[in-house]
């Protein structure tokens, strides 16, 4: 068909559309930028804008409203802003910020807006959720009764966590706070718990190292990493925990169990203080805005165990807070301690002495307590914290050279075995059965003749020994969390055998030293004779 023929066929259709066109007025809220700097924008000309409303700029930048005055809006940039200048047009969307949620996010690394940061394909999520949602009502919650195993013996035995709990990890810089959270994530590789990690203002290199550790030791396909990098906009870092919480709540509302880590809320408070001061909000204690307690309380209250009517899912929160010089009475730490259901305090002195994780048992507490502890620990861990605390007190006096009686010496020896058992390398969380076997060895006094090296060797070989001699018992304890009398006897046998092997090896080493030979030659005396 010729060009003229095409035009003749197209003209009637165009005329029909032109006759049916009815122009109608459309209301758009258009404002303009009057001031911009440090990630904060002042906008005029949007009288209908509301708090937390999402604004769109002509250059593609996005911002949310954090302050509403009579004649201007104080906004925080979330993305873009490089080419934004005073006088630029801005339009109100009439909606709040939403992020993608759902199964496509599992195994991915995303930013606070839900955009992928890894080398994977674009995320095609079928659902979006607002980043700020009200916490579940009291009537929609259930009791925290199911344990959340961390794989860290010091925590599982003396500071137990439950699904739906909020447990603060607090301590000075570089004392192993993130390591505890990462080990807890890695330990969920054999469970059904989905893990969400929110990095707030963390270095990219540190986050990459963390992701690789989970990829190597954990279940990456059930994890979501939400990154607000240290070089991102302040507003982007500020919304990171809210976006991560929205992604986690999707699975909780589906009846799943979810673990979320906020690393860390001290930096989040600093970012919020920075934005508030730039927005000319009145400062309060330590220059923080007056609503900093409300900001964190509203976030952490979203972690809960839901009732059966709401699906029975749970969201467990592990917020991290940093102290300065071990000062737990600073503004943000005291706020977070009062909001959460307990805290795990990491002491620098213990960390530098090599006691890792450096958990200070005296300052650490779980307000859920034994209600969420695995039943297998009942009876074995009831007096563990008391005995360890008594040991720490007696050790202080023993350092002064005081003469101790046999009973005190036995308490000190037992306490040293406890301390050795509580010492644990990073990225090596223990299964429930191994932890129970360690406590069983302590409870039955089978480590009495051991020194520190023997106890360490016993810990290293115990898991393989149990898998070799009683794999069915190990599987049953890990699955049910119960320790029956038959299972206790089944665990005691390989524990006793391993103690005998190490004791025999220790004796062979001593014999070889007395004879002036290497330990390997001690077993060849019959052949040499």
Choose the final residue of a domain: 64, 95, 126: 95
Is the residue at 16 inside a domain?
no
At 513 the pLDDT is 47
If asked whether residues 213 and 257 sit together in one domain, one would say: yes
Looking up residue 80, the CATH number of its domain turns out to be 2.40.30.20
pLDDT per position as a tens digit, 145-154: 999 999 999 9
Residue 257: strand pairing partners: 314
pLDDT per position as a tens digit, 246-270: 999 999 999 999 999 999 899 999 9
If asked whether residues 155 and 292 sit together in one domain, one would say: yes
pLDDT per position as a tens digit, 62-76: 999 999 988 899 999
Assigned token pair, 104: 């496509």
Looking up residue 149, the CATH number of its domain turns out to be 3.40.50.300
Domain count, the chain: 3
Choose the final residue of a domain: 45, 79, 95: 95
Is the residue at 6 inside a domain?
no
Confidence of residue 221 (pLDDT cuts 50, 70, 90): very high
If asked whether residues 242 and 265 sit together in one domain, one would say: yes
If asked whether residues 368 and 405 sit together in one domain, one would say: no
Calculate what percentage of the chain has a pLDDT beyond 90. 65
Is the residue at 134 inside a domain?
yes
Confidence of residue 2 (pLDDT cuts 50, 70, 90): low
If asked whether residues 113 and 86 sit together in one domain, one would say: no
Active site residue 302: no
Assigned token pair, 261: 């880590």
Looking up residue 419, the CATH number of its domain turns out to be 1.20.150.20
If asked whether residues 121 and 80 sit together in one domain, one would say: no
If asked whether residues 287 and 426 sit together in one domain, one would say: no
At 411 the pLDDT is 87
If asked whether residues 343 and 414 sit together in one domain, one would say: no
Query: Whole-angstrom Cα distance, residue 334 to residue 362?
Result: 17
Mean model confidence pLDDT for the chain: 88
The total number of residues shown for the chain amounts to 529
Three-state DSSP at 410 gives helix
100 Cβ contact partners less than 8 Å away, ≥ 6 residues apart: 114, 123, 125, 127, 128, 247
Is the residue at 2 inside a domain?
no
Mean pLDDT in residue range 332-342: 96
If asked whether residues 76 and 109 sit together in one domain, one would say: no
Per DSSP, 116 falls in state B
Mean pLDDT in residue range 80-90: 88
Burial class (CB in 10 A: 0-12, 13-18, 19+), 467: middle
- Degrees (nearest 5) of the Cα angle 53, 131, 236? 75
Is the residue at 24 inside a domain?
no
Whole-Å CA distances, 279 to 7, 65, 106, 187, 284: 59, 11, 36, 42, 14
Assigned token pair, 465: 């020994």
Catalytic residue among 367, 407, 457, 528: 367
Choose the final residue of a domain: 311, 338, 373: 373
If asked whether residues 363 and 395 sit together in one domain, one would say: no
Is the residue at 4 inside a domain?
no
If asked whether residues 147 and 258 sit together in one domain, one would say: yes
Long-range pairs for 251-255: beta carbons < 8 A, 24 or more residues apart: 251/194, 251/313, 252/306, 252/311, 252/313, 252/314, 252/315, 253/306, 253/310, 253/311, 253/313, 254/311, 254/313, 255/311, 255/312, 255/313
Is the residue at 378 inside a domain?
no
Place of tokens 């009398």: 485
Is the residue at 328 inside a domain?
yes
The whole domain housing 155 covers: 99-373
If asked whether residues 390 and 343 sit together in one domain, one would say: no
């Amino acid at each position: 068909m010729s060009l003229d023929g095409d035009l003749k066929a197209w003209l009637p259709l165009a005329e029909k559309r032109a006759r049916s066109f009815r122009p109608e007025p459309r209301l758009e809220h258009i404002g303009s930028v009057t001031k911009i700097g440090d990630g904060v924008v002042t906008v005029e000309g949007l009288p209908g804008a509301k708090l937390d409303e999402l604004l769109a700029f002509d250059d593609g930048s996005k911002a949310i409203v954090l302050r509403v005055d009579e004649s201007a809006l104080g906004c925080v940039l979330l993305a873009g802003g490089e080419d934004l200048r005073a006088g630029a047009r801005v339009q109100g969307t009439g909606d709040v910020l939403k992020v993608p949620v759902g199964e496509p996010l599992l195994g991915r690394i995303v930013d606070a807006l839900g955009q992928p940061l890894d080398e994977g394909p674009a995320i095609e999520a079928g659902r979006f959720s607002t980043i700020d949602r009200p916490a579940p009502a009291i009537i929609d919650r259930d009791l925290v009764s199911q344990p959340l195993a961390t794989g860290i013996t010091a925590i599982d035995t003396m500071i137990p966590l439950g699904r739906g709990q909020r447990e603060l990890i607090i301590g000075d810089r570089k004392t192993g706070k993130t390591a505890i959270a990462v080990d807890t994530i890695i330990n969920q590789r054999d469970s059904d718990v989905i893990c969400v990690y929110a990095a707030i203002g963390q270095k990219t290199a540190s986050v990459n190292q963390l992701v690789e550790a989970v990829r190597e030791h954990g279940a990456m396909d059930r994890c979501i990493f939400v990154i607000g990098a240290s070089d991102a906009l302040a507003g982007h870092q500020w919304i990171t925990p809210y976006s991560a919480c929205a992604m986690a709540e999707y699975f909780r509302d589906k009846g799943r169990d979810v673990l979320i880590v906020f690393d860390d809320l001290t930096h989040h408070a600093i970012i919020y203080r920075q934005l508030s001061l730039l927005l000319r909000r009145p400062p309060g204690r330590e220059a923080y805005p007056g609503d900093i307690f409300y900001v964190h309380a509203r976030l952490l209250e979203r972690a809960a165990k839901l009732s059966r009517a709401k699906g029975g899912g749970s969201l467990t929160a592990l917020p991290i807070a940093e102290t300065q010089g071990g000062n737990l009475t600073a503004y943000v730490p005291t706020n977070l301690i009062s909001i959460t259901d307990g805290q795990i305090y990491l002491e620098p002195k213990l960390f530098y002495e090599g006691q890792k994780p450096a958990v200070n048992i005296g300052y650490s507490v779980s307000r859920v307590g034994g209600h969420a502890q695995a039943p297998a620990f009942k009876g074995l861990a009831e007096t563990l914290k008391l005995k360890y605390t008594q040991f720490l007190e007696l050790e202080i006096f023993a350092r002064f050279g005081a003469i101790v009686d046999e009973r005190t010496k036995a308490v000190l020896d037992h306490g040293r075995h406890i301390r050795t058992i509580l010492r644990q390398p990073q990225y090596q969380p223990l299964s429930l059965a191994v932890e129970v076997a360690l406590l069983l060895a302590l409870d039955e006094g089978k480590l009495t003749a051991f020194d520190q090296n023997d106890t360490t060797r016993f810990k290293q070989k115990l898991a393989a020994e149990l898998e070799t001699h009683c794999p069915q018992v190990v599987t049953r304890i890990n699955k049910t969390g119960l320790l029956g009398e038959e299972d206790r006897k089944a665990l005691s046998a390989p524990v006793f055998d391993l103690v005998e092997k190490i004791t025999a090896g220790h004796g062979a080493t001593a014999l070889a030293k007395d004879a002036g030979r290497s330990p390997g030659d001690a077993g060849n005396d019959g052949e040499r004779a």
